[in-house]
């Protein structure tokens, strides 16, 4: 079983929140609290939530292209 990376955990947290809330209303605090991480951990991996969104889309596009 593959362990999830910190980026993957943060991305899943964001996606859970985005399922019920507008993206522009989601805060870094909410993202990190939702998955039990700290804000400094978030900023070690992403510049802001939009950088996280780009990472999610690039990852999804890469999966589609490698199939």
Q: Each residue of 7-24: pLDDT tens digit?
A: 999 999 999 999 999 999
Q: What CA–CA distance (Å, rounded) separates 10 from 39? A: 11
Q: What CA–CA distance (Å, rounded) separates 49 from 9? A: 14
33 pLDDT exceeds 90? yes
Look at the chain and report how many structural domains it folds into.
1
33, part of any domain = yes
62, part of any domain = yes
The mean of the pLDDT values for the chain is 96
pTM of the full structure? 0.91
Which pLDDT score, from 0 to 100, does residue 53 have? 97
Confidence of residue 60 (pLDDT cuts 50, 70, 90): very high
14, part of any domain = yes
1, part of any domain = no
Residue numbers of the domain that contains 46: 6-66
- CATH number, residue 55: 1.10.10
């Amino acid at each position: 079983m593959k362990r999830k990376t910190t980026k993957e955990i943060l991305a899943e947290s964001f996606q859970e929140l985005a399922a019920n809330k507008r993206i522009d209303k989601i805060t870094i605090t909410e993202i990190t609290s939702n998955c039990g991480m700290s804000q400094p951990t978030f900023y070690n991996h992403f510049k802001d939530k939009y950088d996280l969104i780009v990472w999610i889309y690039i990852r999804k596009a890469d999966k589609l292209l490698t199939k």
